[in-house]
Structure 1
Amino acid sequence: MTNPPPPRSLADRLHGHLLGTYGLLTLAALLFLVFSLALPGTFPTRDNISSILSNQSIPAILALGATIPIATGKFDLSIGYGLGLAHVMVMQLIVNEGWPWPLACLTVVFGGVAAGAVNGVIVEFGQIDSFIATLGTGSMMYACTGWITDGTRIVPGPDGLPVSFTDVYDSTFLGLPLPAYYVLVITAVLWVVLERLPLGRYLYVIGSNPRAAAIIGIPTRTYSVYAFAGSGLVVGFAGVLLAAQQQTGNPSVGLDYLLPAFVGALLGSTTIRPGRANALGTLVAVAVLAVGLAGIGQLGAQFWATPLFNGGTLLIAVGLAGYSARRRLRSGATATRRSLADGQAQSPRSRP
């Protein structure tokens, strides 16, 4: 029988834990420092920070929405299409149907919940892979967006949109844009749900081993539908903010947010709680993306630098997530072998 590998020193374990938990957060701080030194007159200013927080609020919210199904091992590729449909529906109801804006926004948010639940039902009860199912439903959402707008923009009349509606996005609080607080609130709520409530623990168990979850009595299909419905809720809210930001209904808006959302969600699974999707990790990942994109933009990067940055970061995120998962499996196997070896060493030898 081969001897178990020697135990790692306490310093090595602490170094690995700190690097995996706070490495990405440290990277965000270093990026901010580097760009501040390179652009001292424009980057570390209050106006620039407010601009970053405002511009990246919708991608951050969408990334948080994508995090929920990822916790169950599923992917919702319809979130970009859903974002486009949601913001167009808000404009359609307010501008063309004359609805009060609070009623229009609530209708769209609950419509997002219904659309997410439909995705979950198709994936779980239709037994269709989440990539294929949500890509199909997303394409149908895009078709609905084109049907509603007839391929043109929905533009408000001479009086414009209600100021109380546009203030949902344009307002500030304590000197910071209001959307930044939305991101913090959603992050806090999602953190509590996933990390502190039974619902979140069930979602993580389903994501790690759905067969074991079913054996111990967790209704895996029902909770997976809940995850997609939660994602739809967040996407619907992001659509409301996008409508308040754009102040027009643009049928082509939405897909541009898909890649950054998944980059944030997948990269976030490599930090804070390495190896699993988590809200705080997603927030840190979005911060890295926001600082990086703002910095290269102010350095005069070409238009193609943004998709190149997002695509490269996505590949890195997936690679790091896979490495983290494999490392956890190896650590668990090593701990099991060590426990078995210790048990054999301590057990009394059998007599002949």
Structure 2
Amino acid sequence: MTARRPGPGGHLVGAYGLPALTVLLVLVFSLALPRTFPTLDTVDSILSTQSIPAVLALAAMVPIVTGAFDLSIGYGLGLAHVMVLQLIVEEGWPWPLACVVVVVGGGIVGVLNGVVVEFGRIDSFIATLGTGSMMYAVTGWVTDGGRIVPGPQGLPDAFTDLYDSKFLGLPVPAFYVLALAAVLWLVLERLPLGRYLYVVGSNPRAAELVGIPTRTCTVYAFTASGLIVGFAGVLLAAQQQIGNPSVGLDYLLPAFVGALLGSTAIKPGRPNALGTVVAVAVLAVGLTGIGQMGADFWTVPLFYGGTLLIAVGLAGYAARRRLRSGVGASRDAPGSSEYPQPPGSPKGGGP
């Protein structure tokens, strides 16, 4: 008996329900707060303040594609932004060189995470929690438990402009998010490497049988995550302009909420870059709206925690529904034409 495919209406609701919710929230808050919410200041605030959570959510999303979780991204963000300021303020490095070194360092940390998970055969939760704790220790060692404060001359204007400047009347960080999401969409949806990553995440045993290097693909995913975290650290340093050794942990939960909630949109049942951006937009609109309505400080962790539970439940439901309906089953199969075989591997998924 063939699996029943969902009708076009059900597919549209699953794919575009989250963007529709964003529009609905904007309308509701605009009606409830006509003087403060539907303004250019609110738009600028959302695009600016949510850029770093969006970048970090994209960093969390990449390993999830392969079925792994990188819990070290919050610790890595804290270490990266501290190291940028340490190199610029304390060591006197030119800011472009400091930024490049920190981003490359983030990539190296990602490689180590991938090696520990795949070649050390340690669960990704445990492995990245351990490496994250080690990074937190390094952060404390670099800062000696204090803050890195620039001197009277401050930081170079060109460096702080990485976060503070505008382009086409909008905050520049918003364009970083769009560019990064576009690159990840291209790699994951249009290039063979991205398709292999999805296969590894959905059925690693089948991926191995057709010759896909599952361990190498997972290391690639962690490396990409580390590079993105390093870039997010540069942005955070340009935003904060003070090295705070504990600030990175505040971004861990929002990142995973955005990544997991994003797997319920655009491509329901599979993590994807565009869905992650939409999820971050929903969270940003919701938090901004309840903040302008005078909500207490404890509503923010309550909002993120509740949304995380909902996101995990919806992501699991979307994945199960996708498997039951058969939609994507042939597309995710390693022997399908959409997921090309590595050179020399047998066609049709045979051993």
Q: Could you state the TM-score of these two structures normalised by the residue count of structure 2?
A: 0.92
Match of 2:255 among 252, 258, 261: 261
Q: 1:5 to 1:192 in 2, by over 3 A?
A: closer
Measure, in 2, the Cα distance between the counterparts of 1:125 and 1:161: 41
Is residue 2:296 matched to residue 1:294?
Answer: no
Output one character per residue of 1:184-225: Cα deviation in whole Å (capped at 9) or x when no partner.
000000000000001100000000000000000001001100
Output one character per residue of 1:151-197: Cα deviation in whole Å (capped at 9) or x when no partner.
00000000000011000000001110000000000000000000000
**Which residue in 1 is equivalent to 2:15?**
21
Q: 1:288 to 1:6 in 2, by over 3 A?
A: closer
Is residue 2:196 matched to residue 1:202?
Answer: yes
Is residue 2:239 matched to residue 1:252?
Answer: no
Measure, in 2, the Cα distance between the counterparts of 1:29 and 1:94: 42
Measure, in 2, the Cα distance between the counterparts of 1:181 and 1:6: 42
Amino acid at match of 1:28: T
Three-state SS of the structure 2 residue aligned to 1:158 is coil
**Which residue in 2 is equivalent to 1:33?**
27
Three-state SS of the structure 2 residue aligned to 1:254 is helix
Measure, in 2, the Cα distance between the counterparts of 1:6 and 1:215: 25
Q: Is the 8 A contact 2:140 2:245 kept in 1?
A: yes
Amino acid at match of 2:29: F
**RMSD of aligned C-alpha atoms?**
1.4
Measure, in 1, the Cα distance between the counterparts of 2:30 and 2:316: 33
Three-state SS of the structure 1 residue aligned to 2:155 is coil
Measure, in 1, the Cα distance between the counterparts of 2:213 and 2:290: 46
Measure, in 2, the Cα distance between the counterparts of 1:42 and 1:264: 25
Q: Which aligned runs of 4 or more in structure 1 are off by greater than 6 angstroms?
A: none
Measure, in 1, the Cα distance between the counterparts of 2:322 and 2:262: 16
How far the C-alpha of 1:7 sits from its partner, in A, is: 5.7
Three-state SS of the structure 2 residue aligned to 1:105 is helix
Measure, in 1, the Cα distance between the counterparts of 2:323 and 2:44: 41
Over the matched positions of the two proteins, sequence identity in percent amounts to 77
Three-state SS of the structure 2 residue aligned to 1:127 is coil
Is residue 2:172 matched to residue 1:164?
Answer: no
**Which residue in 2 is equivalent to 1:314?**
308
Q: Is the 8 A contact 2:77 2:233 kept in 1?
A: yes
Aligned counterparts, 1:125-274, within 5 A: 125-274=119-268
Q: 1:217 to 1:90 in 2, by over 3 A?
A: same
**Which residue in 2 is equivalent to 1:58?**
52
**Which residue in 1 is equivalent to 2:80?**
86
Q: 1:184 to 1:6 in 2, by over 3 A?
A: closer
Is residue 2:121 matched to residue 1:118?
Answer: no
**Which residue in 2 is equivalent to 1:341?**
none
**Which residue in 1 is equivalent to 2:90?**
96
How far the C-alpha of 1:92 sits from its partner, in A, is: 0.2
Aligned counterparts, 1:269-288, within 5 A: 269-288=263-282
Q: Is the 8 A contact 2:207 2:214 kept in 1?
A: yes
Is residue 2:66 matched to residue 1:72?
Answer: yes
Which consecutive unaligned segments of at least 5 residues does structure 1 have?
337-352
Figure out how many residues of one structure are paired with residues of the other and give that number.
329
Structure whose alpha-carbon radius of gyration is higher: 1
How far the C-alpha of 1:63 sits from its partner, in A, is: 0.2
Match of 2:99 among 100, 105, 115: 105
Three-state SS of the structure 1 residue aligned to 2:196 is helix
Q: Is the 8 A contact 2:3 2:326 kept in 1?
A: no
Amino acid at match of 2:212: I
Aligned counterparts, 1:332-351, within 5 A: 332=326
Output one character per residue of 1:112-133: Cα deviation in whole Å (capped at 9) or x when no partner.
0000000000000000000000
How far the C-alpha of 1:14 sits from its partner, in A, is: 1.1
Q: Is the 8 A contact 2:3 2:325 kept in 1?
A: no
Three-state SS of the structure 2 residue aligned to 1:82 is helix
Amino acid at match of 1:123: V
Q: Could you state the TM-score of these two structures normalised by the residue count of structure 1?
A: 0.92
Measure, in 2, the Cα distance between the counterparts of 1:157 and 1:5: 69
Output one character per residue of 1:236-288: Cα deviation in whole Å (capped at 9) or x when no partner.
00000000000000001100000000000000001100110000000000000
How far the C-alpha of 1:311 sits from its partner, in A, is: 0.5
Output one character per residue of 1:40-73: Cα deviation in whole Å (capped at 9) or x when no partner.
1111101110011000000000000111000000
How far the C-alpha of 1:5 sits from its partner, in A, is: 8.8
Amino acid at match of 1:147: W
Amino acid at match of 2:146: T
Measure, in 2, the Cα distance between the counterparts of 1:311 and 1:154: 31
Three-state SS of the structure 2 residue aligned to 1:250 is coil
Amino acid at match of 1:154: I
How far the C-alpha of 1:332 sits from its partner, in A, is: 2.3
Three-state SS of the structure 1 residue aligned to 2:56 is helix
